[in-house]
Amino acid sequence: MNRQIIIIILLLFPFFLSAQEEEKNSGQLHGNFETIVQTYRVDTIIGIDSADVPREKALSNSYMNLTYTKGKFSAGIRYEVYMNTLEGFDKRYDGHGIANRYASYTSDELEITAGNFYEQFGNGLILRTYEEKTLGIDNSLDGIKLKYKPVKGIKLTGIIGKQRLYWTLGPGIVRGLDGEISFNETFKKLAKSKTHFLLGGSFVSKYQKNLNPKYNYPENVGAFAGRINLSRGGFIISSEYAYKINDPSADNSIIYGYPIFKDGNALFVNASWSKKGIGFLFTALRLDNMSFRSDRSASVNDLSINYLPAITKTHTYAFPAMYPFATQTNGQVGFNADFFYTFKRKTLLGGKYGTNININFSQVNSIKTEKITINPDAEIKNLDGYTSDFFAVGDELYFRDINIELHKKINKKFKISLIYMYQDYNKLIMQGKDSILHADIGVFDLTYKISSKQSIRFATQALLTDKTQSGEKNDFGDWYTGMVEYTYSPHWFVAISDQYNTGGHTNPVSAHYYNFAAGFVKGANRIQIGYGRQREGIVCAGGVCRFVPAASGFNFTLTGSF
Amino acid sequence: MKKTIILISINLMFFGAILSQENFNKLPSVDVKTLSGKTLNTSKISNDGPIFLSFWATWCKPCIRELIAIDENYIDWQEETGLKVYAVSIDDTKSTGRVAPFVNGRAWEFEVLLDANSDFKRAMNVINVPHSFILNKNGEVVWQHTSYSPGDEDEIYEVIKKVAAGEDINH
């Protein structure tokens, strides 16, 4: 802990220096902060008994970032306080302290960072450290990062470090190299070419000591990836292929392949064409055994080195987002297609202001596998892996989503949005229970502008599930919701809503989830208070999810940036 | 003792932050990408007139509402003040591919930047999107705001007009 004090003093040093030079206008100190407080109470109607209420009655997650910049030098710290951690987040966060600190030097050619850093190679298939506060994810590396740009358009990155695991570091060392060349920037002849061409490659390796006397786990596990990005006119094609060498882990149940532990691979393709008023997108992702963590026994959201994006559409309304897709890192093959179009003004469908539509379709299946036998030894025979045909699609459906969105400004006062969504969701794969759930979802959203500063918004949504074999409604059954929100620009908002659940197979009790919220915004600061019931559910961002238990009580959020 | 030192240090830094608020603020030096894949360093963002820089994402409804409101006025505002709009998408790999067809499908004419691992967002201390900034022609941040309610665009334009006229912003 003495180390932390020294670090703070070092971090403060430039501040004191700059304080003396205030008149020269040299350094800048900026930051942000957030406090979330939630109180908990017994609410048996939504299944919260006294045993479910945390003993603290109120829990809170908070942090503050401070960044000091002076010319090419910058340094920052983040102080985090979890007293105690909010329900639904990992309780290993309980406590407080300096969770993040770094210093860096950046010039046009060179960037050096020491301390905690975030970095992504290519699309992140073999390396991405990032922070997602809503999920409680912070897998930052603590170590050294170097970036070097020897000539225009060429960028080389090297990293080494250990990953954050709540208040400690994971056991593995992560090392990586990445190179990228943008041909149009590097070669003058291509500077004016209409075709833009980018190539990149990366290598990442983790080291973790093998302490298992029974299995000869590889202590060094490497992964490499190559990527390409091509654009011309309205076309953009970007693709990355990644390969990971023998990586036994808790995720893949220490699976064998050939010649020893199973390798992994991933192919990610994004292709789009668009011009003013119209856009097409096609995305595909195939994964086989691609979980990659700096501790082979880690699970859930801990110590992921790479990022495997969910390619399905991220929905923002509550009901379309109720059964979200989570990336299946052990194996999946999926694709997503989108069509964006604006019906022009003064046409039949466009009306006076034009109409926007988005049609989206995505489907994810298992990969096709065939079991192999390598080990005659009965004891480890069950670890035998499989072979998989790269171009075949497995029979098991994981997720399917067909949706259409329509947005239209009717006149100066009214705007509407309409969404219909057809969804199939494999609960067994995603949540480990039951089987496929089908849902039909509708959203209607209307904004009415009362005056130049005041507006009122009504949103109603419905989610209807199919019936199980026993004749009950699937999972929690049907949901209906209504919401009214009043805003007074630029400072105030008040919202009131109720979600009504009919109950179903998982929980036959019907319930109202009412909520009230009010807030005030000024500049970059925002304060919000709320009271109500939070339904049990899954919160996701980018294919990574966390489970949130039902809660009832007051909540308070304060965010600010300076 | 240890905790006291930490708390005092943080208080000091906070105090320093308040003091230093007056002499804002050039954009930090962070690499982002353009839609065609080129790297752009954010310290090179410039314009002869005011800049409206908005952090958004394809999955963020209020962000899209804000950008629609700006888009509806963009031609007029450009003519009147020389404004340039930068829409910085924080969509990660999951949806960076959506940004180009989304923006073109909406026929927006903003400068669109991709901040796929939130490096620029972090450097600007943005917590939630939408979060927007207004810069003067010297590239100094003079105004910022988080969230969006219908009608906010009127306040935004008042600030842009003042910035274009070289007036001080007291926010």
Q: Which residues of B touch A106 (CB under 8 A)?
A: 29
The predicted-structure confidence for A469-504, as pLDDT tens digits, reads as follows 888 999 999 999 999 999 999 999 999 999 999 999
What is d(CA A450, CA A453) in angstroms, rounded to the nearest whole number?
Answer: 8
Q: By the 8 A CB rule, do A77 and A97 touch?
A: no
For the record, the structure tokens of A98 come out as 């300096």
Tell me the β-bridge partners of A343: A355
Q: Where are the alpha helices (DSSP H) in A79-167?
A: none
Residues whose CB is less than 8 angstroms from the CB of residue A358 and which lie 6 or more positions away in sequence, other chains included: A338, A339, A340, A341, A404, A405, B102, B105
Complex-level ipTM: 0.92
| Separation in Å, CA of A116 to nearest CA in chain B | 13
Could B106 and A356 be called an inter-chain contact, meaning their C-beta atoms sit closer than 8 Å? yes
Instruction: Assign A252 a pLDDT band (cuts: 50, 70, 90).
Output: confident
Per-residue confidence of chain B (171 residues) as pLDDT tens digits? 555 555 555 555 554 444 444 445 889 999 999 998 899 999 999 999 999 999 999 999 999 999 999 999 999 999 999 999 999 999 999 999 999 999 999 999 999 999 999 999 999 999 999 999 999 999 999 999 999 999 999 999 999 999 999 888 865
From A101, A29, A95, select the one nearest A62 (Cα to Cα).
A95
In the block, tokens 């495997």 appear at: A308
Q: By the 8 A CB rule, do A354 and A345 touch?
A: yes
Q: How far is CA A236 from CA A80, A184, A273, in A?
A: 41, 15, 6
CB atoms within 10 A of CB A134: 12
Q: What local confidence, expressed as pLDDT, does residue B26 receive?
A: 87
Q: By the 8 A CB rule, do A65 and A32 touch?
A: yes
What is d(CA B119, CA B28) in angstroms, rounded to the nearest whole number?
Answer: 10
Region A347-372: mean pLDDT is 92
Give A364-395 as a 3 state SS string: EEEEEEEECCCCCCHHHHCCCCEEEEEEEEEE
Could B105 and A106 be called an inter-chain contact, meaning their C-beta atoms sit closer than 8 Å? no
Task: Output the average pLDDT for chain A.
Answer: 91
Encoded amino acid at A226, one letter: G
The predicted-structure confidence for A300-341, as pLDDT tens digits, reads as follows 899 999 999 999 999 999 999 999 999 999 999 999 999 999
Q: Which chain B residue shows the shortest CA-CA distance from A229?
A: B37
Closest to B94 (Cβ–Cβ): which among A234, A487, A542? A542
Whole-model pTM above 0.80? yes
Position A1 pLDDT exceeds 70: no
The predicted-structure confidence for A385-406, as pLDDT tens digits, reads as follows 888 889 999 999 999 999 999 9
Q: How far is CA A547 from CA A87, A230, A464, in A?
A: 10, 38, 22
Closest to A489 (Cβ–Cβ): which among B119, B122, B150? B150
Q: Which residues of A touch B14 (CB under 8 A)?
A: 31, 64, 66
Tell me the longest C-alpha to C-alpha distance in chain A.
Answer: 78
Q: What local confidence, expressed as pLDDT, does residue B23 receive?
A: 46
Task: Concatenate the DSSP letters of all residues of A438-488 into one string.
Answer: EEEEEEEEEEEE-SSSEEEEEEEEEEEE-B-TTSSBSTT--EEEEEEEEEE
